[in-house]
Structure 1
Amino acid sequence: MASSDGVEGGTPHVVLVPLMAPSHMIPMVGMAKLLASRGAVVSLVTTPSNAAWMEGTIQRCAGSGLAVQVIVLRFPSREVGLPEGCERLDMIPSKSMTRNFLRASEMMQEPLERRLRESRIAPSFIISDAGAAWTRALGRALGVPRLVFHGYGCFALLCQHNLHVQKTHLSATSESDPFVVPGLPQRVEVTRAQLPGAFSTSVDMEDIREEIREGELSADGFVVNTFVELEPSYVSALEETTGKKVWTIGPLSLCDRESPYETEGEDKASNEASLCVRWLDSMKRGSVVYASFGSLARLPPSQLVEVGLGLEASGQPFIWAIKTRGEEASREFESWLGDEGFEERNKGRGFLIRGWAPQVVILSHPAVGGFLTHCGWNSTLESVCAGVPMAAWPLFSEQFLNERLVVEILGIAVAIGVKSPTIWGEEEKAGVQVTREEVARALVNLTDVGKDAKERRRRARNLAKAARRAVEDGGSSLTNLDLLLRTVTQEMSPKNAVVVK
């Protein structure tokens, strides 16, 4: 990706405030590098433990001459009843502590404001995660524009906005009763249970959900990790219905080829990636299925057993990234792997990874022909960028909406067929939702040589080409980014927003 000589009208100083969760921070790191490559000074806000795994990425930025600095603020875990050092959403002891975590995040506002007022270059504008609604007050205090970054794509955002306005979901007779999402070009049905958490009936988070919604409504615009060619009608419809400018600047995974997790233990990560690549090199082109369910989800051992047996029954070679929640679940599942002889039985045909997996490296390998995924937006985009068709197994958040996009609208995925969400942090309650037979059937369908499968692969390859073009000079996403920097710096910001002390 080529660098810009800068943005006319002065050097903008962009402050990035992610929600402290892996799937939210990773695209923000990519955004930091991308903004810096277009001539901006970037401050990325984080906490001590998160700074540790960002360190390698930021050092590489400095080595490349990119102006990315990290503002490290203490995360007040103890003040809200969290364990000391609990600085990421995936680290909280239980889902019931989500409120505590978000309140601790809010407490970062005052120290961040102090740091920014002391900055050599005053901030020009803020891009904050939608979940960091407290930055609304920060933007007002500093007198600078605030753009909201969503971890969703435009299709899911439009669905969510239309439901907030029209409240169609409230007419459903039950949580499992399908209804049509209003205001879309295509007919899309979902159930109330499949909607993002913003539509939960739980009262304990109602005030926080309202704060997040108000933060979106008061934003000066939206920044979205997508590209126009992926969901063109939904980008324009989102702008029209919200009345806000939508800047699509992705896929950010193409801007940051190295996940920040790789810096957490560079030797381990490098070794894992090397082993994966060597194994993949021995496989036929397009033959391998990669199975992973993201950074937050932890399927219970009973469901993991069905995943494993389904992968085995599909007859395809596979890479499986396995994550469990807690030591007891880990012991139970490892016992099954050994007692049943699964790992030994699939030696040579199955490659098992415990924990972190070099996902972008795996998906980009020509031997990979399918991705069994939870449909998180980062994973969905990474699959799109690699031109790999998906088997869609949504779990929670907006993932059921993403499933509808890739299966019904884009035609680059097959549905596993799961109907009910698996609640994050309460996965054991869900038990087995998808059987080994359903897993195998979907994967055989995905990797078939028939007409439908060939068409899926053709569409996926074409979208991958469009994704790469979008982040090249003259492409839609880089053009949007340059326009964003000019518009916000010159038209929205106060004239004295960028000053050198």
Structure 2
Amino acid sequence: MLTSELVFIPSPGAGHLPPTVELAKLLLHRNQRLSVTIIVMNLPLGAKHNTETTRPCTPRLRCIDIPWDDSSMALISPKTFLFAFVEHHKPRVRDIVRGITESDSVRLAGFVVDMFCMAMTDVANEFGAPTYTYFTSGAATLGLMFYLQAKRNEEGYDVTELKNSDSELSLPSYANPVPANVLPEVLFDKEGGSKMFLDLWKSFRQTKGIIVNTFQELETHGLEYLLSSNPDIPPVFAVGPILNLENKKDDNKTNEIMSWLDDQPENSVVFLCFGSMGSFNEKQVKEIAVAIERSGQRFLWSLRRPAPKEKIEYPTEYENLEEVLPEGFLERTSSVGKVIGWAPQMAVLSHPSVGGFVSHCGWNSTLESVWCGVPIAAWPLYAEQQLNAFELVVELGMAAEIRMDYRTDMRATGGGSGMVVTAEEIEKGIRKLMSDGEMRRKVKDMKEKSRSAVVEGGSSHTSIGNFIDRVLNVI
């Protein structure tokens, strides 16, 4: 049987590869005529920990790894690295796709490229294949970027002028005014970062469609803007939440964590976890510890050592937690809390004893918390996480705020930032997280809507079908 092949090109890293794999599996489940090859460009991020997804291998789903090439080290520049990294891999991707097209049983149906891999559109064009964008964050953020890019191109609007501004913006993908201090840091970079970033959205407009990992009921306002307000925006397919619901590892560390949770009362535990790249310097860690202890809440805290200065690596495990925690903290809290390293996040959030999630508000973590019905205390760190926090706290009323405008410098020594969130702020956020009945009701309601969206007749189930139809018809 002739199959229609989609080539997926995700950005490297834990926030992009797993949802790409899950989307591919979902498409293959929905249509037997599709096949997928995922081309993985690897970064030298040190130990992969458990943040990477399992690489599938079936007749219709292949993962092809491009190993890290030491010649790529010359590309490492904090501001332009990822874009140069993708450009560097074009010849390898071209060779892989050429091999795919040599098969008589396969017809190239298109490229599905991550938002940071838009340069691969050039390779798709060489093969006469359409390009689709996979946007692994939310619809409101997508709409905001389209709006700012259009204002720049049509009106000469310079968003970098908003740096350190306390102004608020009226943006069509949000119902409420958005503070300038929650926009992504890269938008304020006058040395080219802002232009490079907004140019991505200009290239989005040239694609045949944009897949978004969200669902209609969660981001009604943002999706209405994307779907109806601008004829220059390609068709948008809200297909989420795309989650790996089966990635529950059976190892000693995971079993120990789950066994501890089994012994805790229902909805009693605060889970603190800040994503694959999240870490804090020693001063901030101590403030968190003081807040947890004062709150009196049961807790499970994923605490990891920051990567060395100027290294692009995942945080690592502490060999001795006492070196960074206040003296006596572990002993005083031993009956109510547990400090761990890496955490099996989805398994933890699914556990009935977990009642709240102190989170960096990465989009995958946001969707997991919604799916599990666990409210968030928002503490964003970088990228678009401040916007996600704003959406959860202000737009949806589904999260407590710890510090919505917090930012960390990913390249600073010891997970550093000029900002320090005080123990008082953290404690206040934790208390609200665990006591606000209205917020908890909204999250439970959205949990049910998230599950309804992906079953037959649901909004995302229908949208995935529409995307498959478009792929097959464009061929």
Q: Normalising by structure 2, what TM-score?
A: 0.87
Alignment coverage as a number of residue pairs? 455
Q: Which residue of 1 aligns with 2:467?
A: 484
Structure 2 match to 1:58: 56
2:274 to 293, 318, 334: 293
* 1:499 matched residue in structure 2: none
1:406 paired to 2:406: no
Structure 1 residues 388 and 68: alpha-carbon distance in aligned structure 2, compared to 1, 3 A threshold: same
Residue 72 of structure 1 deviates from its aligned partner by 2.7
2:260 alignment partner AA: W
Query: Secondary structure of the residue that 1:20 maps to in structure 2?
Result: coil
Query: Does residue 115 of structure 1 match 2:99?
Result: yes
Shift of 1:143: 1.1
In structure 2, the partner of 1:6 is: none
CA contact (8 A) 1:251 1:471 kept: yes
1:235 to 190, 205, 223: 223
Equivalent runs, 1:321-470 vs 2, <5 Å: 321-326=302-307, 334-337=321-324, 340-354=327-341, 356-426=342-412, 428-448=415-435, 453-470=436-453
Letter of the structure 2 residue corresponding to residue 195 of structure 1 = L
Q: Distance in 1 between matches of 2:65 and 2:412?
A: 32
Query: In structure 2, do the counterparts of structure 1 residues 138 and 207 end up closer, same or farther at CA, with 3 Å as the change threshold?
Result: farther
Report Cα offsets for 1:148-182 as digits up to 9, x if no partner. 01121001111222122235673956423222132
C-alpha distance in 1, partners of 2:101/2:416? 48
Q: Does 1:29 align with 2:21?
A: yes
Return the letter of the residue paired with 1:81.
A
Residue of structure 2 in register with 1:497 after alignment: none
Q: Show the counterpart of 2:168.
A: 179
Aligned pairs for 1:188-337 within 5 A:
188-191=177-180, 193-203=181-191, 205=193, 208-209=196-197, 212-239=200-227, 240-241=229-230, 242-253=232-243, 256-259=244-247, 270-326=251-307, 334-337=321-324
Counterpart-to-counterpart distance in 1, 2:401 and 2:5: 43
Q: Aligned partners of 1:214, 1:445: CA distance in 2, in Å? A: 41
Aligned runs of 1:69-88 on 2, under 5 Å?
69-81=62-74
CA distance in 1, matches of 2:55, 2:68: 21
- Shift in Å at residue 17 of structure 1? 0.8
Q: 1:136 aligns with which of 121, 124, 146?
A: 121
The AA in structure 1 aligned to 2:224 is S
Residue 437 and residue 185 in structure 1: after superposition, are their counterparts in 2 closer, same or farther (change >3 A)? closer
Q: Could you tell me whether the CA contact under 8 Å between 2:390 and 2:404 is conserved in 1? A: no
Structure 2 distance, partners of 1:124, 1:406, is: 37
Secondary structure, in 3 states, of the residue corresponding to 2:356? Answer: strand
| One-letter amino acid of the counterpart of residue 58, structure 1 | P
Contact 1:155 1:234 in 2 (8 A): yes
Amino acid at match of 1:150: F
Counterparts of 1:236 and 1:173 in 2: how far apart (Å)? 27
Contact 2:173 2:221 in 1 (8 A): no
Which stretch has the larger CA shift, 339-348 or 306-315? 339-348
Mapped to 1, the partners of 2:160 and 2:115 lie a distance apart of: 27
In the other structure, the counterpart of 1:88 is: none
How far apart are the structure 1 equivalents of 2:77 and 2:196?
20
3-state SS of the aligned residue for 1:81?
Answer: helix
Q: CA deviation digits over 1:6-35, x for unaligned, max 9?
A: xxx974322111001110111111112111
Q: Distance in 2 between matches of 1:233 and 1:281?
A: 39
Structure 1 counterpart of 2:219, one-letter code: E
1:382–1:140 CA distance, 2 compared to 1 (3 A): same
Q: Distance in 2 between the 1:114 and 1:73 partners?
A: 15
Asked whether the equivalents of residues 139 and 222 of structure 2 are also in contact (C-alpha less than 8 Å), the reply is: yes
For 2:160 and 2:120, locate their aligned partners in 1 and report how far apart those are by CA, in whole Å. Answer: 34
Unaligned runs of 5+ in 1: 1-8, 83-91, 494-501
Residue of structure 2 in register with 1:3 after alignment: none
Secondary structure of the residue that 2:116 maps to in structure 1?
Answer: coil
Shift of 1:206: 5.8
User: How far, CA to CA, are the matches of 2:179 and 2:14 in structure 1?
Assistant: 27
Q: CA deviation at 1:67?
A: 2.5
1:291 CA displacement: 0.7
TM (norm. structure 1) is 0.82
Structure with a larger share of its residues in helix = 1
User: What amino acid is aligned across from residue 37 of structure 2 in structure 1?
Assistant: S
SS in 2 for 1:148: strand
* CA deviation map 1:178-204 (0-9, x unaligned): 22132245222222x532255132425
Deviations 1:230-282 (A, max 9, x none): 112211211233431111111111xx2144xx7xxx55xx3222222211111
Residue 423 and residue 188 in structure 1: after superposition, are their counterparts in 2 closer, same or farther (change >3 A)?
Answer: farther
